[in-house]
Amino acid sequence: MPSDRIFLLACLLLLGACPLRAAETSTSPPNVLFIAVDDLNHWVGHLHRNPQTKTPNIDRLASMGVTFTNANCAAPACNPSRAALMSGLRPSTTGVYDNGQAWNPVIPKKLTLTTQFLNAGYNVFGAGKIYHSKQHRDGEWTEYFQEKVPQLKLDPSARNNGVGGIKFGPLANPDSDMPDYQVVDYALEKLDEKHDKPFFLAVGLVKPHMPWSVPKHYFDDIPLDSIQLPPHTENDLQDVPEAGLKMAKPNGDHALMLKSGRWKEAVQAYLATIQFTDAQIGRLLDGLQNSAYRDNTIIVLWGDHGWHLGEKEHWRKFALWEEACRAPLIWVAPGVTTANSTCDRPVDFMTIYPTLCDLAGISVPDHVEGPSIAPLLKNSKATWEQPALTTFHRNNHSFRSERFRYIRYADGSEELYDHTEDPYEWTNLAGDAKYDSIKAAFQKHLPEKNVPELPKGNDKTGKKKKAA
């Protein structure tokens, strides 16, 4: 039996027969509301990372169950993060390390999360962005909604569409024109229907992915003169190894943003887009609360990875520091979770697949590499020794414990940050010998398998594109 399964069973015994099926008082299996949010970092109210953010609905969801304060993605890019979460296989196992690498050929349909629920007798509905580029395959879903994309126009007040590759600006459109609004409309229709089977409803919200362009009233709600830049320090990269500098690319987006003088505008736009997304999540929660399924539905919300807005002289994801790796993770499981619970244990999103199976009473497939966090849902203070792991490109790994983040690059260079003293990772401690035992403890968790990277430039079917 795999070691993570042994650990789980031991925890369950210690917890006094923790119920693995949510809503165990019900005679039917629990439904699942699976909410994926694109590019949402930890700028949500209940995580207290940014005091300007307004997320009353995400915070409402957190108050309904367990929120994880140290949740980390499997990979800091859309494609590998989602492929890993949905397949149960880490990037180092599949070779899907970055965007542009086709996951379809290396992840058979029989392995995916949705297939397990289909095989267990569920109807599986999907909408929006669950896999990268909204890819999905026939046979893994009962139904998949395709929203219509109307023409979105910048409001006349917009200066232009952003700075270089960082795109943003208020829109003249109403909320109802936004694709995410349509996706939530579809989900609300499903919640209003009468179902003869339990359902798994996957709702993928694209915002706050760029462009940070949402209806103007969200911008108006966060005046530019109130915007604070994220905490940062000059020469932050002076103690970062060359491998980290290559990921940061300080002479790219960050240099351009500094030259433009529009850093605060970009922060405002990201916050406005988060607020739009929060409003859609509010609509979704209201729909569930008003439905017949409110008492027998597991909710899990996750952001696929974090995002830098100038911290460590870096923009976007594509790095192994806290801002790129950390994202919200909230669970509500009737009969299992307790309202207003907070868990500080470090977990990564490879735990979502096995935990959903456990809660639904579905056998966890042998190929799944992450452990279930059912013990932490029952008792957020339960012992948990495994660090969270994030991978970006082959042999580059970032680990998070409650106190430390350790990064080890493919060339053997390292970074270590003490979050108790240095929450913004300004001082690299990796060269200090007194931390050697800390690093060694993390190194025990390095993946044994680190397969070569899949080629880039593949199309959605996994076939090589012809030269243009």
| Residues contacting 10, CB < 8 A, separation 6+ | none
Mean pLDDT of 193-211: 98
Average pLDDT, the chain: 93
Mean pLDDT of 399-408: 98
For 250-265, how does the pLDDT look when each residue is reduced to its tens digit (9 = 90+)? 999 999 999 999 999 9
Q: Which of the following is catalytic: 42, 46, 132, 397? A: 132
For 301-328, how does the pLDDT look when each residue is reduced to its tens digit (9 = 90+)? 999 999 999 999 999 999 999 999 999 9
Among 16-25, 76-85, 188-197, 392-401, name the one with the lowest average pLDDT.
16-25
Residue 28: predicted pLDDT: 87
Residue 386: predicted pLDDT: 96
Q: Which of 79, 73, 74 is nearest to 96 (CA)?
A: 79
| Residues contacting 455, CB < 8 A, separation 6+ | 101, 464
Domain edges within the chain: 3-389
More confident residue, 5 or 237: 237
Mean pLDDT of 142-161: 94
Residue 15: predicted pLDDT: 41
- CATH code of the domain made up of 3-389: 3.40.720.10
Q: Which two tokens stand for residue 360?
A: 């639904």
| Residues contacting 88, CB < 8 A, separation 6+ | 111, 113, 350, 353, 354, 365, 367, 368, 369, 370
Q: What is the DSSP string of 146-193?
A: ----PPP-B-TT--SSEETTEEB--BSS-GGGSHHHHHHHHHHHHHHS
Burial 145-168 (b: 16+ CB within 10 A, else e): bebeeeeeebeeebeeebbeebeb
Residue 368, pLDDT above cutoff 70: yes
Q: Which of 398, 339, 400, 337 is nearest to 373 (CA)?
A: 337
SS in 3 state form for 187-235? Answer: HHHHHHCCCCCCEEEEEEECCCCCCECCEHHHHHCCCHHHCCCCCCCCC
Residue 18, pLDDT above cutoff 50: no
397 is catalytic: no
Among 27-31, 156-160, 378-382, 427-431, name the one with the lowest average pLDDT.
27-31
- Assign 134 a pLDDT band (cuts: 50, 70, 90): confident
Half-sphere exposure in the Cβ direction for 428 (13 Å, CA): 17
User: Angle 29-202-28 (CA atoms, 0-180°, nearest 5)?
Assistant: 10
For 75-96, how does the pLDDT look when each residue is reduced to its tens digit (9 = 90+)? 999 999 999 999 999 999 999 9
Residue 27, pLDDT above cutoff 80: no
For 331-352, how does the pLDDT look when each residue is reduced to its tens digit (9 = 90+)? 999 999 999 999 999 999 999 9
Residue 21: predicted pLDDT: 59
Residue 20: predicted pLDDT: 53
Give the separation between CA 263 and CA 270, rounded to whole angstroms.
11
Residue 192, pLDDT above cutoff 50: yes
Q: Give me the helix-helix angle, 263-289 and 179-192, nearest 10°.
A: 10
Q: Which two tokens stand for residue 314?
A: 């870096």
Residue 434, pLDDT above cutoff 50: yes
Q: Which two tokens stand for residue 146?
A: 């395709």
132 is catalytic: yes
| Residues contacting 248, CB < 8 A, separation 6+ | 237, 240, 254, 312, 313, 314, 319
- In 10 A of CB 56, how many CB atoms? 14
Residue 16, pLDDT above cutoff 60: no
Q: What share of the chain is helix, strand, coil (3-state, %, to 5)?
A: 35, 20, 45
Give the separation between CA 203 and CA 174, rounded to whole angstroms.
21
Q: Which two tokens stand for residue 62?
A: 């957190």
Measured in whole angstroms, how far is the alpha carbon of residue 336 from the centre of its chain?
22
Give the separation between CA 80 and CA 90, rounded to whole angstroms.
8
Residue 458: predicted pLDDT: 56
Residue 9: predicted pLDDT: 43
For 371-394, how does the pLDDT look when each residue is reduced to its tens digit (9 = 90+)? 999 999 999 999 999 999 999 999
Q: Which of the following is catalytic: 11, 18, 73, 78? A: 78
Contact 129, 38 (CB under 8 A): yes
